[in-house]
Amino acid sequence: MQKIFSTADVHPRDRFDYWMGTIRENIIRNDAVPACRRAFKAMLSAGSIGSVNLTLSSSSAVRVSHTTHHTGQPSDDQLFVFMPLAGSKVLQQSGRQTVLKPGQFAVIDPRLPHEAIFSDASETLTLISDRKLLESRLGAVQDLTARPIGLDTAEGQLASGYLKMLPSQAGRLSSAAADVVEVQLLDLVALALGKSREEHISCGSSARLLVRTKLYAVIDARLSDPKLDAAAIAKAAGVGVRYANAVLADENTSLGRLVQSRRLERCRTALADPAQGHRSVSEIAYRWGFSDMTHFGRRFRAAYGLLPSEFRCQARMEAP
């Protein structure tokens, strides 16, 4: 792996901006907020196994957002597999959230909005594959994104072990050997993801699962729109409102309740985030689609037992 960038070579006031410029140029376009800009440190190395690109990054705590404004880029033709080697990484996509620990991995589709939170002193291996290479083995991956693949299956153990070895071997293999390893690597990752799909689909029909995935994706992509309603969501997902609600009933929710719960989750995350402490409660609520602060306060307290301002004060006191 070759070092691409290190903040050790940059003045502290410029480190985060230079880091983001490197990430946007070399990996994927996104927005990010560090937990502490002045103390931010990061390093990025890159390599490849055949046509599969690898990056090894370490950084201070940071929150990353990839929105609809960042789609339509070259990364849309790729799929990303993230695996922490140290620290943890929270991933959100298509209505799913997972906390990845070292050794676990998950796939993310850059065509869809997603968020990631890196813990302090985290180190993450990222596998960047041509979309066709994985989808030729798995089919569409919308139902697999942000699902943790761990060590609870033989397939997951094999794939995780293989991924861990890559940073030390990238750049040392002959061209012929790299081609063989690339095939084995993608086969193992696809096997582990496919096993996860089998276990999940056994809980419900694949057709309903696909509709549910689309509904979550539409809602997450348009969550900040205060005019978002059931009809618009169902239409964007290609189904009727009645069928959409019937599918969501499998999870004891509906279009309206799902929109509200997702907005409350986003507001709760923002209120607990020290990096967003400069934002007012009302600014956060309006950003995530609430238009009535009284209504927002009631719903937030019903969901979390505290008013938004009380929750923020409690989060600040509990923060290390």
Do 81 and 160 fall into the same domain? yes
Do 63 and 114 fall into the same domain? yes
Range with lowest mean pLDDT among 28-37, 65-74, 115-124? 65-74
Q: Is the pLDDT confidence value at 238 over 70?
A: yes
pLDDT digits over 169-195, tens only? 888 888 777 888 888 899 889 888 888
Do 177 and 213 fall into the same domain? no
8 A C-beta contact, residue 195 and residue 137: no
- For residue 37, the one-letter residue type is R
Do 212 and 195 fall into the same domain? no
pLDDT digits over 96-105, tens only? 889 999 999 9
Do 155 and 14 fall into the same domain? yes
Give the number of other CB atoms < 10 A from CB of residue 260: 18
Phi-psi region at 226: left, alpha or beta (left = phi > 0; alpha = psi -120 to 50): alpha
Number of structural domains found in the chain: 2
Query: Using CA atoms, how far apart are residues 9 and 90, in angstroms rounded to an integer?
Result: 28
Q: Which of 179, 201, 223 is the last residue of a domain?
A: 201
Angle between helical axes of 206-221 and 230-237 (0-180°, round to 10): 120
Domain that holds residue 8: 2-201
Do 22 and 93 fall into the same domain? yes
Do 260 and 291 fall into the same domain? yes
pLDDT of residue 202: 47
Do 156 and 260 fall into the same domain? no
Token pair, residue 29, equals 């376009």
For 129, the enclosing helix (H) or strand (E) is: strand 122-130
**Which long-range contacts does 103-106 make (Cβ < 8 Å, 24+ apart)?**
103/150, 103/151, 103/160, 103/164, 104/148, 104/149, 104/150, 104/151, 104/160, 105/81, 105/148, 105/149, 105/159, 105/160, 105/163, 105/189, 105/192, 106/81, 106/82, 106/145, 106/146, 106/147, 106/148, 106/149
Phi-psi region at 50: left, alpha or beta (left = phi > 0; alpha = psi -120 to 50): left
Cα 166 off chain centre by: 22
CB under 8 Å to 151, separation ≥6 — which residues?
A: 103, 104, 157, 160
Cα 310 off chain centre by: 28
57 confidence band (pLDDT: 50, 70, 90): very high
Query: Using CA atoms, how far apart are residues 166 and 105, in angstroms rounded to an integer?
Result: 14
Alpha helices (H) along 71-115: none
Phi and psi, residue 129, nearest 5°:
-115, 150
Name the residue among 64, 72, 71, 69 with its Cα closest to residue 126.
64
Tell me the pTM.
0.64
pLDDT digits over 2-48, tens only? 888 899 889 999 999 999 998 888 888 899 999 998 899 999 999 99
199 confidence band (pLDDT: 50, 70, 90): low
Longest dimension (CA), the chain: 65
8 A C-beta contact, residue 225 and residue 259: no
Report which DSSP code applies to 124. E
319 confidence band (pLDDT: 50, 70, 90): low
Q: Is the pLDDT confidence value at 116 over 90?
A: yes
8 A C-beta contact, residue 119 and residue 88: yes
Do 197 and 255 fall into the same domain? no
CATH code of the domain containing 41: 2.60.120.10
Phi and psi, residue 122, nearest 5°:
-85, 155
CATH code of the domain containing 230: 1.10.10.60
Do 103 and 46 fall into the same domain? yes
pLDDT digits over 127-148, tens only? 999 998 888 777 778 888 999 9
